[in-house]
Structure 1
Amino acid sequence: MDQIAPSSDLMSELLLGMRLRGIQYRRVYAGPSFGFAFKAQPGCAYFHFMATGTAKLVTEEGELQTLSAGNAVFLPQGSAHQIVSDPKASVQDIDHYDVVSLSETVCAVTASSCSAPHVIFFSGCMEFDLGGLQGLVPLMPELMMIDATSQRYLELMPILTAMEQEARAGRVGDAGILARLADVVMAVIVRGWVECGCGNSSAFVTALREPRLSRAILALHRQPGRDWTIAELAAESGLSRSVFAKRFQETIGVAPLRYAGELRMRIARTWLAYDRMPIERVAERLGYTSQAAFSRAYKRITGISPGSSRRA
């Protein structure tokens, strides 16, 4: 596949804003025949790493992907799927298996009567947050798969091995170590996907590789509290107002000022729900003249009040 040259600044902004929260891992041992079903988790993402053996991943649409030792899979939209020894194998929801807790965030699932399992894989489910760029998640593919043994991803194998060892050991502080290692793995997977052309997500490709458009998007993300106008964003891009507005709408799918408003609310949600920032401070940082004005805008765009986001 042809390589692309994405905007380095915008790519860095994407990766810096990426956060994984609420990670729960399973270490799965399976025999020669197995079938695990993973239900849809909207707002979350799945991650699987095949340590030993082979398996088939079956998407919700019935597409098959072969997983071999060293393969890692990322499902950014939390789509339903199965991991099976064979498409004809009987399948059971992964949540219905008996588990043994190894630590606060890691549990073990054993679906094999053999002393030595045929397959070992690690599975994670977590909230996937791209921060201000969260609107790009729907443009991502259902599944991203890489071969950690290939030349392109040589840096990943030591990290995945460290994750495997950490999950097995159950040492003090393993949750924090696993979370940080997972951050790096997901960032490398997303970057590799972008470098290889982002599959068929043409809008995402264009946003990242179009230097003029990416300058405006980067400006919005770096100064979300500024009261941007179409003329100012067009000037950032070096385009006329009409050409910029048309190109932005066609590429991103929303008008520039609507994107700016939704961006502010995505950032506000992170500050409220995770950073526990006071509502009045969020309003001030995002350029609103009053807390009331911010609250009205937040509820109009998100459907809930800022206070509800804090409580959630």
Structure 2
Amino acid sequence: MLDRSSKPAALGTSDYLTGMLRDLRLDGVEYSRCQMTAPWGIAWPPRSQTRFYFVSRRSCWLKTPAGDWLELHDGDAVLLPRGGGHVLANAPDVEPSPPCACAVKTLCGNVLDVQGGGGGEHTLLFSGAMTFNVDPDHPLLRLMPDVMRMDEFIANEPDIPHLLEAMGREVAMDRIGAGGILARLADVLAAAIIRAWVERGCGAAKGWIAAARCPVIGRVLAAIHDSPEKDWSVESLAELMGASRSGFAERFAAVVGETPARYVAQVRMHQARQWLTRDRMR
């Protein structure tokens, strides 16, 4: 969980991470307005899709990919960046069913109406299945926690409560065009969670994130990411840092956790995968 007292990243680090964040975009795959009655439980198998949930009425429980149970209250929203197997239920002791056990009809486009449960107390929530436009090895995606709760980031994103209120109204009122509006709101809220996480220094993440917080090493990382095609050597990178070859190599490995040569190779591999993905989409 993020330290609420921590300050946003310093300007240099923020600029560098902004460049990384610019690579990320969430594309909506499917959205669902879920009307569930107790007892109910849905078990999602492990998938690479990002999952977003907003609880509009009552409360429910989320079993995270790590196996922990979190209670979600009216107005709560969560993001599971890497998807993973998880369960939503009105209580932890309910035996969950697969998603196919629910009654489903299309509201509009890729927005569905989902109903299920045993006929008891009514819970209303909205869910979204999304994909990042980058491969799973993107540095930011690898470092994200399994679960991101919206209330952890409200201090950094003052518009979040208003977006949640708007989403709550759209879910509850079932007006014409509500499905499309809900899908767009879900996209904005998911992006806001990720931006706030980045601005707060990416939690307790280590590796290159920790290095980016170091002004000197951060300058070197920014140069590598800006121009991975350059013929980088330990000597040329050491010049950027203003240190000797041996001093730079030792400091880089201590902060980043790997050698400069290995890090440059990983950045180049990531960019190559990005190019291949874009070529396939053309």
TM class, shorter-length: 0.7 to 0.9
State the one-letter code of the partner of 2:97: Q
- Check 1:130–1:214 CA distance in 2 against 1; reply closer, same or farther (3 A cut): farther
- Check 1:230–1:272 CA distance in 2 against 1; reply closer, same or farther (3 A cut): same
Q: Structure 2 CA distance, aligned partners of 1:173 and 1:98?
A: 17
Q: Cα offset for 1:129?
A: 4.1
Q: Cα offset for 1:266?
A: 2.6
State the one-letter code of the partner of 2:55: M
Counterpart of 1:141 (choices 142, 145, 160) is 145
Alignment of 1:78-157 (within 5 A): 78-112=83-117, 118-129=122-133, 134-147=138-151, 150-157=154-161
Tell me if 1:242 matches 2:246.
yes
State the one-letter code of the partner of 1:125: A
- Check 1:173–1:70 CA distance in 2 against 1; reply closer, same or farther (3 A cut): closer
State the one-letter code of the partner of 2:23: G
- Check 1:230–1:221 CA distance in 2 against 1; reply closer, same or farther (3 A cut): same
Please provide the CA RMSD for this pair.
3.4
Task: Assess if the C-alpha contact under 8 Å between 1:131 and 1:267 holds in 2.
Answer: no
Q: The residue matched to 2:31 in structure 1 has which SS? A: strand
Counterpart of 2:272 (choices 268, 274, 279) is 268
Q: Cα offset for 1:93?
A: 1.7
- Check 1:225–1:188 CA distance in 2 against 1; reply closer, same or farther (3 A cut): same
Comparing 90-99 with 140-149, greater Cα deviation is found at: 140-149
Aligned to 1:76: 81
Counterpart of 2:26 (choices 20, 25, 30) is 20
Aligned to 2:42: 36
- Check 1:311–1:46 CA distance in 2 against 1; reply closer, same or farther (3 A cut): same
The percentage of counterpart residues that share the same residue type is 32
State the one-letter code of the partner of 1:10: Y
Tell me if 1:11 matches 2:49.
no
Q: Cα offset for 1:251?
A: 4.2
Q: Structure 1 CA distance, aligned partners of 2:32 and 2:118?
A: 18
- Check 1:132–1:143 CA distance in 2 against 1; reply closer, same or farther (3 A cut): closer
Deviations 1:168-202 (A, max 9, x none): 55749939x935x5454233212333455544423
Task: Assess if the C-alpha contact under 8 Å between 1:37 and 1:92 holds in 2.
Answer: yes
Q: Structure 1 CA distance, aligned partners of 2:74 and 2:116?
A: 18
- Check 1:166–1:103 CA distance in 2 against 1; reply closer, same or farther (3 A cut): farther
Alignment of 1:268-287 (within 5 A): 268-274=272-278, 276=279
Comparing 51-60 with 156-165, greater Cα deviation is found at: 156-165
Q: Structure 2 CA distance, aligned partners of 1:149 and 1:92?
A: 32
Q: Structure 2 CA distance, aligned partners of 1:54 and 1:98?
A: 21
- Check 1:153–1:263 CA distance in 2 against 1; reply closer, same or farther (3 A cut): same
- Check 1:124–1:255 CA distance in 2 against 1; reply closer, same or farther (3 A cut): farther
Structure 2: which 5+ residue stretches go unaligned?
Answer: none
Task: Assess if the C-alpha contact under 8 Å between 2:52 and 2:186 holds in 1.
Answer: no
Task: Assess if the C-alpha contact under 8 Å between 2:107 and 2:179 holds in 1.
Answer: no
Aligned to 2:55: 50
Q: The residue matched to 1:57 in structure 2 has which SS? A: strand
TM-score when normalising by structure 1: 0.73
Q: Cα offset for 1:240?
A: 3.5
- Check 1:237–1:48 CA distance in 2 against 1; reply closer, same or farther (3 A cut): farther
Alignment of 1:181-200 (within 5 A): 181-196=185-200, 198-200=202-204
TM-score when normalising by structure 2: 0.80
Task: Assess if the C-alpha contact under 8 Å between 1:148 and 1:156 holds in 2.
Answer: no
Q: The residue matched to 1:261 in structure 2 has which SS? A: helix
Q: The residue matched to 2:150 in structure 1 has which SS? A: strand
State the one-letter code of the partner of 2:112: C
